[in-house]
Amino acid sequence: MSAYKYQYSLLPGLEKTGIYAPMLPVTFINNKFEFSTFALVDSGAVRGLISTVIADELELKWQNIPKSVGFTTSGQFIYHKIPKLTVRVEDYEFVISINVAEGINPFKCILGRNDIFQKAKITFEGYKKEFQIEFRNLN
């Protein structure tokens, strides 16, 4: 298994709050299109999501996918489910199902229980403001 350690980072768009969170550098891949960003590793999220800006950069045709309604503690949101999207973290690539959420921060990205947590063991050490990911060998 490959293990990687990361320091918590300030949440994008909320830097003035001083809130640190587990942020992971990721690259999304759709055929010849790639988009690198940082994803919040969120154990409270069922499935990951990306913004429409990221989806557009990847040339995902999310507008052609029927809308669904999702719920969070702060309300509801409209999303479109992308059944297969390749994700690269360091030298590890895997395929996930992800939601394209309308009306969120342009560079927002979250990975949750049904995607990153299915691929790796994740150890959070909040008192150190760091976390470690050990990817499973799926071959």
Intervals of the chain under pLDDT 70: 1, 14, 138-139
The pLDDT value recorded for residue 1 is 61
CB 85 within 8 A of CB 98: yes
The pLDDT value recorded for residue 139 is 47
Superfamily of domain 2-135: Acid Proteases (2.40.70.10)
Q: Which helix (H) or strand (E) holds 53?
A: helix 52-57
Nearest Cα to 118, choosing from 81, 87, 77? 87
The pLDDT value recorded for residue 70 is 84
Q: Which helix (H) or strand (E) holds 117?
A: helix 116-119
The domains of the chain are located at: 2-135
Nearest Cα to 88, choosing from 59, 60, 58? 58
pTM strictly above 0.85: yes
